Structure 1
Amino acid sequence: MNQTASVSHQIECQPAKDSKEFVDVSPPQRNWKGIAISLLVIVVVCSLITMSVVVLTPLEVPGSSKSRLTVADLYKPEFSIHDPEATWISDSEVVYRNRDGHVIKFNFALNETEVILSNNTFVAFKVAKYSLSADLKYALFAYDVKQMYRYSYTASYIVYNIYTREVWELNPPEVQNAVLQHAAWGRQGQQLIYIFENNIYYQADVRSISLRITSSGMEGVIFNGLPDWLYEEEILRSHLAHWWSPDGERLAFLTIDDTQVPNMALAQFTGSTYPRGLQYPYPMAGQTNPAVKLSVVNLFGATHTQELQPPDQLRHRDFYVTMVKWISNTHVAVRWLSRPQNASLMTVCDATLGACLQRHEESSETWLSRQTQEPLFSKDRSRFFLALPVKQGGQGDFHHVTMFTKKIRSDQDEVRHLTSGDWDVTKIVAYDENNQIVYFLSTEDSAQQRHLYSVSTLGLFPRRCLTCGLKEGCMFFDADASPDAQHAILHCKGPGVPALLLLSFDNVDSYFILENNLPLRSALETKRTIQTDIRIITNDNFELPLKLIYPPDFSESYLYGLLLIVGSSPGDQTVTEEFSLDWNWVLVGSEQVIVARLDGRGSGFRGQRVLQQVHLRLGTVDAEDQIAALEYLVKLPFIDRTRVGVFGEDYGGFLTLMMLKSTERLIRCAAAQAPVIDWSMYASAFSERYFGLPSTEENRYQASKVLPNLKGLQGGTLFLAHGTADANVHFQHSAELIKHLIKIGANYTMQIYPDEGHFLSKRSRIQLTHSLIGYFRGCLLDASSLLSQQRDDE
């Protein structure tokens, strides 16, 4: 939209000065009539010029003097969200790192703070990550951190005495300058655990000799206490595969054997004359999966390792271990999931004997979601709680708090549902056994929000919302309860600037603020404000939330380009009240483009009926919903239907390409980052969850392939971006796509990031951001037209 500046271009009119005539020396005969006419003409001309400037200059609106958000702003410290990483160390104490970099212990019962570590210490040792021993006498500092996959990393570590400032390296016996895969404190005193070359090492305290717990570890083959790629990315969603008992006397850990799993090669093109390669186990759909076993080692006294056996139903079949949680000092809850992911069993195992008893069984005709969910048990283990799908009339199944209580003189449990309604319980936070209260997060107020609620396990199960209206700008919360379930660390995630609060359940009218991100709030106040709007559209009898982000000074009298950003994974939720600050804000704020996001079928937290619509048909109904959103949006009076773009990453990139196959001339430009083009070439646990095995569902896999009938963009250029060392979505996918585009003669532009993984480096992210904005600017940013002018032309 072209605008004229209002002050700098104004023309100032001044009276014309009298001029003297030197030719005729006789007394002048003034033509008063002519002078009057001339002055009148000058006044009229000046008035017309002034009027034209005023008419062509938009009205000054509040905030228009503020600057626009830039790509450089996104990477400035003042525009970052500070996460204090607050953790409970007792019922009334938390430890966190403040914005100045100091590690603080806060006792909120006494309202006292104490500096444990100063930021100077972090700077002196170039600390990237830290942790404190249970007795708060020592710190573990990680430096030279190198990211592996989504969660995992390697690092070197030093042990630091907080009181004497003594320092020494953490190394396995007879090894110097070791690079460790993990190091952390235990539950008691100064217990230490670290993992080196896929084996677990244990120290009873900082001065003790290291004891090697396992010896079977082999690089890229057998993993002890750590997940392989599949378990890290798709099963546990964590870089850890070991769990401390509450008293620190025992350690449960997985041993993952990838001996029979096919390897994937990632070429390393730079840094040497001949390209090198990295191989790692990566089972694609239908290929051999890793074998896994769960063991418990006794760390006090004579070291003894006990293997926990899977249920008989799964013993001779492929299965996953998706959840391990200690529910007492000697008992551990374990969830075992079948390879098709449609049946699971939860057992409670006695770690001293190795005996396991089944406590819960779950099955589905499609697939089971939330299999990493941890149960909450009573102290005597007779009662436990889970959030499970419960049928809610014609609306289908929604997750609700379910209470299992062991019957007297029976192996059966009494089952009661403490909540109900067409909304989801997203997380059970805590169980206050003394007061018989369960605390949980849910979408009861809105599917786009998260609030903390309490519900009694007695009577008619009365519940109340503890965070509704708690703080302005806070409608999306996460929560971590104190050990005694009397307090919670609240993570306010939006829609306003995120904050970290401390709330006592017995006084929900007041709270402590641990972090308010004031620098971010102040920085945003210097920028022009964008607007957001969430509305509901309907497609195929499904109500789907659609979020629109409008430019500053949005007016329905103008035409805007449209960019639809497609979600990155089934089960995710992109239309929420969470705060976010990313590159599409720059596009909206500076390029006069409207950005849209839709949660279509297959998205999460709106019931199982919506989620499981994509079973056996990824790339069909989910793509149809995104197309329906575009068709709805281009009918709006302020959207220019000739300027429509789509962007997606991973699964979103897959959907973007599938949409191109189904629409003609609706999409003018499209960008896909690391797109999946064939689910048979993706991870077994993911692809089989939605399609089953290729051997039995080959037609489903064929129907979801991107390349058949893909014609590219009519009259446009497809934008692709991919790292060559992507361990999640291999560059193989983009290579096959490019080969097809060349074959059919379609135009494309490619951004390659040599030796970069799925998660690009900061420099590459900045470069990609500039490239994406430049690409969509060329496509979506035409001179804005007034609707009235368009109607006059018509």
Structure 2
Amino acid sequence: MKITKLFLGILLFIGVSGIGQNKSFSLQEIWGGAFRTEGLQSLHPLNNGTQYSVLERDPTGNTVIQVYDYASGQKSKVILSTSFIDELDSFQGYTFSKDERRILIATEMEQIYRRSSRGIYYIYDVPSQSIFKLHDKKIQSPLLSPDGNKVAYVLDNDIYTLDFTTGKEIQLTNDGKKNAIINGLTDWVYEEEFSFVRAFDWNKSSDKIAFIRFDEREVPEFSMDVYANELYPQQDVFKYPKAGEKNAVVSLHIADIKAMALDEIKLGDYKDFYIPRIKWTEKPNILSVQVMNRHQNNLDLIFVDAGTKAPKVVMNETDEAYIDITDNLTFLEDNSFIWTSEKDGFNHIYHYAEDGKLINQVTKGPWEVTAYYGFDPKSKTVYYQSVENGSINRDVYAISLDGSNKKRLSQKEGSNDAEFSADFTYYINTFSNVETPYLFTLHKGSNGELVREIKNNKELQDKLAGYKFIKKEFSTIDINGETLNMWTIKPKDFDPSKKYPLFMYQYSGPGSQSVKNAWNSANDYWYMMLADQGYIVACVDGRGTGFKGAKFKKSTQNDLGNLEVQDQIAAAKKLGALPHIDASRIGIWGWSYGGFMSSNCLFKGPDTFKMAIAVAPVTSWRFYDTIYTERYLKTPQENAAGYDKNSPINFVDGLKGEYLLVHGSADDNVHVQNTMRLVEALVQANKQFDWAIYPDKNHGIYGGFTRLHLYTKMTNFIKENL
């Protein structure tokens, strides 16, 4: 038989195509970044309302702040390029002054904890195209004043200001000291649990700075050995208040830059309290302060007059469980304000008068507002994101301030997020779902009409077409009287007549969500890889998770790890009863809170789970921090049973299956103490298990080949034991 070259070429093409379409995911590709998505870095809507800027690299490798026109999508100009400035080889971030005449440039950034960093900063003057370095040392959290003529920053726990017009630097505080006094920055526990680092703010007229001072001298210290490459390890010692222990003593201060005066503000007769947010109002002399009790179920919104120093409680909110802190507080031109609250059972937007009287509830319904985007004073329109289209989806909405004229602006089902232009004429929508990687499109703010596509991830989508890509299947499962959200990943050649082992993933922490209609994370490719090797992977969001109302979210209050574990065990049993699931081969895994959960599931459900993996788990809430733990459990002194009856350490006798325990030795968040205490309990119970400690790795356990090594270990453990 004679085969022509053309026919041979066709055969080769078909053969190669067939092979390509059946390519399996590998751990090397997943953790080597082969499936990363592209995005818009440091997107900033410009004041003119017609343009936005992003951080990019030009074809020659220079870092640039590139300006684009919203309507046309055309590049308009480069505001700053490293090719303009001899002092800069590259930079990692930028912030405009309010009038956009000056830009704060961040370089040589060094991570401290989850949200904090220090770096070398420059000020770039746009009109003169000149630049100068703020300080030779690395500083923290610099903030330009509203008039753009000054900057405040923190160095060695003290606050400084620099006036660009006079060149005068002022040191506002001088008592800052590591592990003792912090001025203008949060301590470890505030940073981690209240999600902010900069604890100072300029007023509207740029002549006053309010800041929080942390006195952490009586907070117990935690230490970690850092092994590195030296002959002797070094110790990292920092203040970490574990549940029931002393917190830093916080106080509020206002510095008057003109008068060169610094005053402590007495907020009232509060004891053992938090100041989770401060923010100047639209009036230059009125500062808003949020004060919360230690149980975090009583919050006062206080207005402080910087002239008289007098505090006034304008609003109080209480909750039987706890109150979530957000950055949604927004002051309108008349100093009335927008506030979000769960007080009607679901998170919604409220409008209050300056004196704290409720004007109206803007949004209503049995669904959650998940993000507040802003208020357009011209059209009196509020923009927000919600789960009105199902708790696993996110959509962008507009609504009038009086609660009328609600419109759904986003059009595609999945996860939609928005960044509005300065005048709300346009917004850039970031969309994804389980089939579509991040898609950036421009829309009209008035009605959501599509203007144009900005950026897609079609290259990644085309690349994935050659792999055994398996879309998540969403469903619900009825467990313990609740309808719970679930996703499943099945083998591409799934045969309902066969029986498959089941591998479950969950996180389960209060207010969290693991079942959502959004693009894949690196873990999802791992699950597809496992599915290709014959496993069914599933995830169920049980009671205590978020976006289904306050009652559902707060059902686990004072009893963490009870209902959540019941739900995972019940879900495993129900799934195990399906004809295509092998009930004798069910495993579960999780990280952090998920590791706490997977450990409990294996110990408390020994006849349900054959194996479990726990990465960086909390093994006793007595070892975790005050703000997070006491929010859900109160203190150990008040609720000892809530801490101990669900602690994996106390249930090691239940271990029958295979168990892999993993932790980083330099985890500043969930300390390796958790794993060491659990290991000792397992040893004394004479239980065999596998474990691994990653030296000098934090809660994320990453860096170099670390993630590849970890996921190789976990994959091998699954294949050997499930």
TM-score by length of structure 1 reads 0.82
Q: Cα–Cα, structure 1 residues 188 and 772, in superposed 2: closer, same or farther, change >3 Å?
A: farther
8 Å CA contact 1:502–1:512 kept in 2: the answer is yes
What's the counterpart of residue 90 of structure 2? 127
- What pairs up with 1:631-780 in 2 under 5 angstroms? 631-711=573-653, 713-714=655-656, 716-763=657-704, 764-780=706-722
CA contact (8 A) 1:450 1:478 kept: yes
Query: Are the aligned partners of 1:724 and 1:754 in contact in 2 as well (CA < 8 Å)?
Result: yes
Deviation per CA, 1:409-440: give whole Å up to 9, x if none: xx672443233221111222222233232222
Contact 1:566 1:647 in 2 (8 A): yes
Q: Are the equivalent residues in 2 in contact too, given 1:336–1:346 (CA < 8 A)?
A: yes
CA contact (8 A) 2:441 2:450 kept: no
State how 1:157-306 maps to structure 2 within 5 Å. Answer: 157-158=121-122, 169-171=133-135, 177-189=136-148, 191-205=150-164, 208-235=167-194, 237-299=195-257, 301-306=258-263
Given that residues 712 and 741 in structure 1 are in contact (C-alpha distance below 8 angstroms), is that contact kept between their aligned partners in structure 2?
no
CA pair 106-308 structure 1, distance change in 2 beyond 3 A: farther
Change (3 A) 1:193 1:568: farther
The residue that corresponds to 1:70 in the other structure is 26
Task: Give the Å deviation of 1:121.
Answer: 7.5
* CA positional deviation for 1:738: 0.7
Distance 1:110 1:191, change over 3 A: farther
**Selected match of 2:38 from 53, 62, 82:** 82
Could you tell me how far 1:325 is from its partner in structure 2?
2.5
Tell me what 1:342 maps to. Answer: 297
Task: Return closer, same or farther for 1:167/1:481 CA change in 2, 3 Å cut-off.
Answer: closer
CA distance in 2, matches of 1:412, 1:104: 42
What residue number does 1:443 align with?
387
Instruction: Report deviation, 1:704.
Output: 2.4
Q: Does 1:153 align with 2:117?
A: yes
Alpha-carbon shift at residue 307 of structure 1 (Å): 3.5
Deviation at 1:377, TM superposition (A): 2.9
Stretch of structure 1 that moved more, 685-694 or 85-94? 85-94
Letter in 1 for 2:565: A
SS in 1 for 2:650: coil
User: For residues 563 and 422 of structure 2, what CA distance do their matches in structure 1 show?
Assistant: 44
Q: 1:587-615 deviations in whole A, cap 9, x for unaligned? A: 42342322211111111111011111111
Residue 103, structure 1, aligned to residue 62, structure 2 = no
1:34 aligned partner: none
Alignment map for 1:537-686 (pairs within 5 Å): 537-567=477-507, 569-589=509-529, 590-686=532-628
Does the 8 Å contact 2:619/2:647 carry over to 1? yes
Alpha-carbon distance, 1:768 to partner: 1.2
Q: Is the 8 A contact 2:604 2:654 kept in 1?
A: no
| Aligned match of 1:785 | none
In structure 2, the residue matched to 1:36 is none
Q: 2:334 aligns with which of 358, 376, 380?
A: 380
Q: What letter is aligned with 1:196?
A: L
- Name stretches of at least 5 consecutive residues in structure 1 with no aligned partner: 1-11, 13-58, 172-176, 392-396, 781-794
User: Which residue identity lines up with residue 666 of structure 2 in the other structure?
Assistant: A
* Secondary structure class of the residue paired with 1:762: coil
* CA distance 1:513–1:306, shift in 2 (3 Å): farther
- The separation in 2 between residues aligned to 1:579 and 1:123, in whole angstroms, is 40
Distance 1:266 1:577, change over 3 A: same
587 and 534 in structure 1: CA distance in 2 versus 1, 3 angstrom threshold: closer
Distance 2:85 2:634 in 1: 49
Alpha-carbon distance between aligned partners in 1 of 2:343 and 2:95, rounded to the nearest angstrom: 42
Residue 270 of structure 2 is aligned to residue 319 of structure 1: no
- Of 97, 115, 126, the residue aligned with 2:78 is 115
Amino acid corresponding to residue 517 of structure 2 in structure 1: E
Match of 2:408 among 451, 454, 465: 465
Cα 1:212–1:89, aligned 2, differ >3 Å: closer, same or farther?
A: farther
CA spacing shift, 1:153–1:414, aligned 2, 3 Å = closer
Give the counterpart letter for 1:191 in structure 2: K
Residue 346 of structure 2 aligns to a residue in which SS? strand
In 1: Cα distance, 2:350 partner to 2:132 partner: 49
- The verdict on how the C-alpha distance between 1:483 and 1:321 changes in structure 2, with shifts beyond 3 A counting, is farther
- Report how far residue 320 of structure 1 moved: 0.9
Structure 1 range deviating more: 637-646 or 671-680? 637-646
Q: Name 2:4's counterpart in structure 1.
A: none
1:403 aligns with 2:342: no
> Once structures 1 and 2 are overlaid, which stretch shifts more, 317-326 or 598-607?
317-326
Please report how far the alpha carbon of residue 703 of structure 1 lies from its aligned counterpart in structure 2 after TM superposition.
Answer: 1.4
SS of 2:449's equivalent in the other structure is strand
Retained in 2: the 8 A contact 1:133–1:190?
no
Mean CA deviation greater in 574-583 or 241-250: 241-250
> Displacement, 1:158?
4.7
Contact 1:79-1:520 at 8 Å conserved across structures:
yes
1:390-413 superposed Cα distances (whole Å, 9 cap, x missing partner): 54xxxxx1122223346xxxx672
Going from structure 1 to structure 2, the CA distance change for 1:637 and 1:99 (only over 3 Å counts) comes to: farther
Going from structure 1 to structure 2, the CA distance change for 1:761 and 1:187 (only over 3 Å counts) comes to farther
Residue 531, structure 1, aligned to residue 490, structure 2? no
* Alpha-carbon distance in structure 2 between the residues aligned to 1:195 and 1:509: 44
Alpha-carbon displacement from aligned partner over 1:288-315 (angstroms, at most 9, x marks no partner):
111112223334x3433343432x3xx3
Distance 2:31 2:64 in 1: 22
Structure-2 change in CA distance of 1:82 and 1:214 (3 Å): farther
* CA–CA distance in structure 2, aligned partners of residues 343 and 267 of structure 1: 39
Q: 1:121 to 1:679 in 2, by over 3 A?
A: farther
1:17-72 CA-to-partner distances (Å, cap 9, x unmatched) read xxxxxxxxxxxxxxxxxxxxxxxxxxxxxxxxxxxxxxxxxx99989734222222
Which SS does the other structure have where 1:733 is aligned?
Answer: helix
Relative distance call for 1:492 and 1:85 in structure 2 (3 A) is: farther
Cα deviation for residue 761 of structure 1 reads 3.0
Q: Kindly indicate whether residue 324 of structure 2 is the aligned counterpart of residue 365 of structure 1.
A: no
* Per-residue Cα deviation, 1:345-377 (whole angstroms, up to 9, x for no partner): 112233344333222211112222x22243233
Match of 1:356 among 282, 292, 311: 311
Identity of aligned residues (%): 26
Structure 1 residue 162, shift from structure 2 partner? 6.9
Unaligned runs of 5+ in 2: 2-14
Of the two, which has the highest radius of gyration?
1
Kindly tell me the number of residue pairs found equivalent between the two proteins: 696
Residues 151 and 163 of structure 2 are in contact (CA less than 8 Å); yes or no, is this contact kept in structure 1?
Answer: yes
Aligned-partner SS, 2:551: helix
Matched residue type, 2:604: S
1: CA distance between counterparts of 2:132 and 2:85? 15
